[in-house]
């Protein structure tokens, strides 16, 4: 077994998390106290619960011989209450267990085996569910004869469908997952797959259903006993006590009130524990969880540096301010006690008509940087803790109110996400989705927006655009969907177009066509392009400037031609060396050994030091600044000038 690396922050155990939920703690305290007293019944100094004493009938509570009074046969209410709680708890819990085991078994087998077995089992369950369910319990008890055992059986049976349905649903979502295929390929038997692969994964569903139904089952037991179909005289359970007190509720209310209050308290306690367990085992259902994520990345204004216009902004376009000027952007994720510095001190300038490529290994902070521009980094756990992002010379995007930001999103600043299938609504024709974007920002009529949408679909090269506009996303190929997404991004003639690896999911020829398209459209509309990719070839054909990112920092920037011809940072050199060249099979493509440091444990000095062929002692001693290394070029390397080292 591999040694697990020491982890300073562990997910707290289920008990610790449960103990943070005050209501669940209250619930468990109530339930624990009641269960404890019920368990201790044989050892408590109680009189026989069934001992009648006609002389002491209907004593009020707090009378000298009976703390909670006596009932119409002179039996001690406290003693009957404690012994009766024992019975009610035992019946409720056993019924839950039986229903859970039988129902989960049926659900698991039905979902896993499928076909006729599934049909037969589920139709049986449907038949059980077709009857109103207390009526069914009554019918079962009526057929079998009134007794506590039969009541237990009836309640178990009527609750089996809840478990069967919940577990079948959960199992169905798992049986087609790859880990089940893998288990099958590994030669595991069906039984083994059911018990060791599927069961543990649906266990939370079973536990949640149990904890939320056990209170209900105790109530049902009480209900049947109340009607005289459960516990038979003289045996006490909470329901039969309630039934006994019913006829004298006016003259001696305590006889019914005492078990009634206990049922109420017990069921509330059990449900509080159940809700607490559910919140932990299925956080998606937690109260309030559905309101996340917030519409905009949280910023921490108090800690942000004032947004000065960057001095290093090399604008190729005269004196007009750059369209986008990001300065010192710090975006981090706070998960538990760990802080992941996904983007630290990122500077980036985008002038009108510019096309800037951002490259770097996966996880280097490219997407986070781009998402920060429009406040799209999810909060929690994301936070922008520093920097400024000026748009069009004046507004700091981190300070604009949300409504202003929403007007810019998809309007003057457009974003093409990586996976076109996940960003399109599967239930809406693609033309409507483009029209919706147009309408949101240009306020056109339905007809006008639709016409615009079709026109843009035509412009991005979809054949038969009027027809394709009525197609749903799943009816289009990957390349066509990506064209739709591009049409959506361009339809409002944005000033800035951000594209995050828009072609990684596509084959090479489709990719080339899409890239040509983006480039043509950019030139025609004069938009500035921020293009994220890990493909240096794409940058070379599409971009004029390039930004190389490593572990959340910019390590080199400059005109593409110059950077690719004479890279100044060893990381850029490594990336370039990894590009395969036709006709040179002897090229080593593993030019950068090792992995980037995790961004929650960045070293003090240069983050690349451990992989760098030219590292010197000074590299590890202090943070290395980004400094000018040529016309409109910067690099974050102490040895950037030793042009030919390494």
Contact footprint for Mg ion (CB under 5 A): 367
Show contacts with ligand ADP in window 371-400 (CB under 6 A).
Answer: 378, 381
Return the residue of 239, 259, 365, 574 that touches ligand ADP, per CB under 6 A: 365
CB of 497 to ligand ADP, least distance (A): 17
Which residue of the chain is nearest Mg ion when measured via CB?
367
* Rounded alpha-carbon distances, angstroms, from residue 135 to 31, 129, 141, 224, 278: 29, 11, 10, 11, 29
340 binds, among Mg ion, ligand ADP, none (CB under 5 to 8 A by kind): ligand ADP
CA–CA separation, 164 and 333 (whole Å) = 40
Sheet holding 633-635, edge to edge: 413-416, 496-500, 528-532, 355-359, 545-550, 553-559, 633-635, 627-630
By CB under 6 A, residue 340 contacts ligand ADP: yes
Return the residue of 13, 291, 311, 362 that touches ligand ADP, per CB under 6 A: 362
Upstream peptide bond of 293 is cis (omega within 30 degrees of 0): yes
Return the residue of 360, 420, 431, 574 that touches ligand ADP, per CB under 6 A: 360
CB of 331 to ligand ADP, least distance (A): 8
CA–CA separation, 164 and 104 (whole Å) = 5
158: Cβ contacts below 8 Å, ≥ 6 apart: 128, 133, 134, 136, 137, 140, 220
CA–CA separation, 330 and 341 (whole Å) = 7
By CB under 6 A, residue 626 contacts ligand ADP: no
Greatest Cα pair distance, the chain, in angstroms, is: 110
Are the C-beta atoms of residues 568 and 637 closer than 8 Å to each other? yes
CB of 519 to ligand ADP, least distance (A): 22
Give the residue carrying structure tokens 């266990």. Answer: 203
365 binds, among Mg ion, ligand ADP, none (CB under 5 to 8 A by kind): ligand ADP
Q: Please identify, using beta-carbon distances, which residue of 367 and 372 lies nearer to Mg ion.
A: 367
Compute and round to an integer the Cα radius of gyration of the chain. Answer: 35
CA–CA separation, 575 and 637 (whole Å) = 15
463 Ramachandran zone, left/alpha/beta (phi>0; psi -120 to 50): beta
333 binds, among Mg ion, ligand ADP, none (CB under 5 to 8 A by kind): ligand ADP
Element (H, E) at 436: helix 430-442
Are the C-beta atoms of residues 293 and 380 closer than 8 Å to each other? yes
By CB under 6 A, residue 342 contacts ligand ADP: yes
Q: Give how far the C-alpha of residue 497 lies from the chain's centroid of Cα atoms, to the nearest Å.
A: 28
Q: Please identify, using beta-carbon distances, which residue of 85 and 367 lies nearer to Mg ion.
A: 367
Return the residue of 367, 379, 557, 572 that touches ligand ADP, per CB under 6 A: 367
By CB under 6 A, residue 368 contacts ligand ADP: yes
CB of 374 to ligand ADP, least distance (A): 14
Are the C-beta atoms of residues 512 and 537 closer than 8 Å to each other? no
Two structure tokens written together for 596: 């980037």
Q: Please identify, using beta-carbon distances, which residue of 361 and 458 lies nearer to Mg ion.
A: 361
Q: Please identify, using beta-carbon distances, which residue of 342 and 460 lies nearer to ligand ADP.
A: 342
For ligand ADP, which stretch binds (CB under 6 A), given 7-15, 80-88, 366-374, 510-518? 366-374
Cross-strand pairs, 359: 548
Tell me which DSSP letter residue 76 carries: B
Return the residue of 75, 304, 352, 366 that touches ligand ADP, per CB under 6 A: 366
Give the residue carrying structure tokens 């996880």. Answer: 363
Two structure tokens written together for 557: 């920037």
CB of 365 to ligand ADP, least distance (A): 4
Tell me which DSSP letter residue 252 carries: -
CA–CA separation, 217 and 214 (whole Å) = 5
By CB under 6 A, residue 260 contacts ligand ADP: no
By CB under 6 A, residue 571 contacts ligand ADP: no
CA–CA separation, 73 and 51 (whole Å) = 9
599 binds, among ligand ADP, Mg ion, none (CB under 5 to 8 A by kind): ligand ADP
Q: Please identify, using beta-carbon distances, which residue of 296 and 441 lies nearer to ligand ADP.
A: 296
Q: Please identify, using beta-carbon distances, which residue of 155 and 536 lies nearer to ligand ADP.
A: 536
124 binds, among Mg ion, ligand ADP, none (CB under 5 to 8 A by kind): none
640 binds, among Mg ion, ligand ADP, none (CB under 5 to 8 A by kind): none
Nearest to 551 by CA among 399, 385, 345: 345
Return the residue of 21, 59, 364, 388 that touches ligand ADP, per CB under 6 A: 364
Q: Please identify, using beta-carbon distances, which residue of 31 and 485 lies nearer to ligand ADP.
A: 485
Q: Please identify, using beta-carbon distances, which residue of 96 and 553 lies nearer to ligand ADP.
A: 553
84: Cβ contacts below 8 Å, ≥ 6 apart: 49, 231, 236, 237, 238, 240, 241, 259
By CB under 6 A, residue 509 contacts ligand ADP: no
- Applying CB under 6 A, the site for ligand ADP has a residue count of 14
CA–CA separation, 403 and 606 (whole Å) = 40
Contact string 587-606 vs ligand ADP (x = CB under 6 A) = ------------x-------
378 binds, among ligand ADP, Mg ion, none (CB under 5 to 8 A by kind): ligand ADP
Return the residue of 363, 411, 448, 478 that touches ligand ADP, per CB under 6 A: 363
Half-sphere exposure of 68 (CA within 13 A, CB side): 21
Q: Please identify, using beta-carbon distances, which residue of 360 and 570 lies nearer to Mg ion.
A: 360
CB of 551 to Mg ion, least distance (A): 14
CB of 340 to ligand ADP, least distance (A): 5
Cross-strand pairs, 339: 334
Two structure tokens written together for 475: 């009816």
Q: Please identify, using beta-carbon distances, which residue of 206 and 376 lies nearer to Mg ion.
A: 376
Nearest to 86 by CA among 268, 214, 218, 210: 218
Show contacts with ligand ADP in window 75-134 (CB under 6 A).
Answer: none
- For ligand ADP, the binding residues (CB under 6 A) are 333, 340, 342, 360, 362-368, 378, 381, 599
């Amino acid at each position: 077994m591999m040694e697990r690396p020491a982890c300073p922050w562990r997910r707290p155990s289920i008990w610790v998390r449960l103990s943070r939920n005050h209501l669940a703690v209250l619930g468990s305290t109530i339930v624990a106290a009641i269960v404890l007293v019920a368990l201790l019944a044989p050892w408590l100094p109680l009189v026989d619960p069934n001992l009648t004493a006609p002389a002491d009938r209907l004593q009020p509570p707090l009378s000298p011989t009976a703390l909670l009074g006596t009932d119409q046969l002179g039996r001690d209410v406290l003693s009957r209450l404690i012994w009766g709680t024992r019975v009610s708890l035992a019946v409720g819990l056993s019924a839950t267990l039986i229903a859970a085991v039988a129902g989960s078994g049926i659900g698991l087998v039905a979902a896993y085996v499928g076909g006729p077995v599934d049909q037969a089992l589920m139709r049986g369950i449907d038949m059980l569910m077709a009857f109103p369910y207390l009526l069914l319990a009554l019918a079962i008890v009526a057929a079998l004869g009134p007794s506590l055992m039969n009541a237990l059986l009836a309640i178990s049976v009527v609750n089996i469908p809840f478990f069967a349905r919940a577990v079948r649903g959960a199992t169905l979502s798992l049986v087609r997952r790859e880990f089940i295929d893998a288990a099958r390929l590994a030669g595991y038997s069906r039984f083994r797959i059911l018990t060791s692969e599927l069961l543990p994964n649906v266990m939370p569903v079973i536990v949640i259903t149990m904890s939320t139904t056990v209170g209900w089952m105790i109530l049902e037991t009480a209900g049947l006993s109340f009607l005289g179909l459960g516990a038979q005289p003289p045996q006490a359970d909470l329901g039969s006590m309630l039934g006994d007190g019913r006829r004298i509720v006016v003259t001696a209310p305590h006889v019914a009130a005492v078990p009634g209050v206990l049922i109420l308290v017990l069921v509330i306690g059990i449900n509080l524990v159940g809700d607490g367990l559910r919140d932990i085992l299925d956080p998606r259902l937690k109260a309030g969880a559905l309101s996340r994520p917030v519409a905009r990345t949280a910023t921490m204004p108090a800690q942000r540096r004032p947004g000065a216009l960057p001095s290093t902004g090399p604008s190729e376009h005269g004196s007009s301010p750059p369209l986008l000027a990001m300065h010192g952007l710090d975006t981090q994720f706070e998960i538990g006690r760990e802080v992941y510095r996904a983007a630290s001190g990122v500077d980036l300038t985008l002038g009108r008509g510019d096309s800037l490529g951002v490259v770097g290994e996966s996880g280097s902070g490219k997407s986070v940087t781009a998402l920060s521009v429009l406040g799209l980094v999810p909060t929690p756990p994301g936070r922008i803790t520093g920097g400024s992002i000026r748009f069009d010379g004046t507004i700091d995007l981190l300070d604009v109110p949300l409504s202003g930001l929403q007007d810019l999103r998809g309007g003057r600043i457009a974003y093409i996400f990586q996976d076109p299938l996940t960003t399109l609504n599967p239930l809406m024709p693609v033309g409507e989705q483009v029209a919706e974007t147009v309408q949101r920002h240009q306020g056109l009529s339905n007809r006008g927006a639709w016409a615009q949408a079709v026109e843009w679909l035509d412009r991005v090269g979809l054949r038969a655009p009027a027809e394709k506009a009525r197609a749903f996303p799943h009816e289009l190929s990957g390349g066509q969907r990506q064209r739709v997404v591009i049409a959506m991004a361009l339809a409002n003639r944005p000033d800035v177009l951000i594209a995050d690896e828009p072609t990684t999911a596509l084959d090479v020829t489709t990719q080339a066509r899409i890239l040509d398209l983006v480039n043509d459209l950019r030139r025609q509309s004069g938009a500035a392009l921020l293009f994220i990719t890990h493909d240096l070839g794409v940058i070379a054909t599409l971009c004029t400037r390039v930004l190389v990112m490593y572990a959340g920092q910019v390590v080199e920037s400059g005109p593409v031609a110059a950077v690719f011809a004479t890279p100044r940072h060893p990381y850029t050199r490594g990336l370039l060396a990894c590009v395969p060249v036709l006709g040179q099979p002897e090229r080593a493509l593993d030019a950068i050994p090792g992995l980037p440091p995790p961004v929650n444990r960045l070293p003090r000095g240069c983050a690349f030091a451990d992989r760098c062929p030219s590292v010197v002692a000074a590299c590890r001693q202090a943070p290395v600044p980004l400094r000018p290394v040529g016309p409109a070029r910067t690099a974050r390397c102490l040895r950037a000038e030793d042009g030919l080292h390494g």
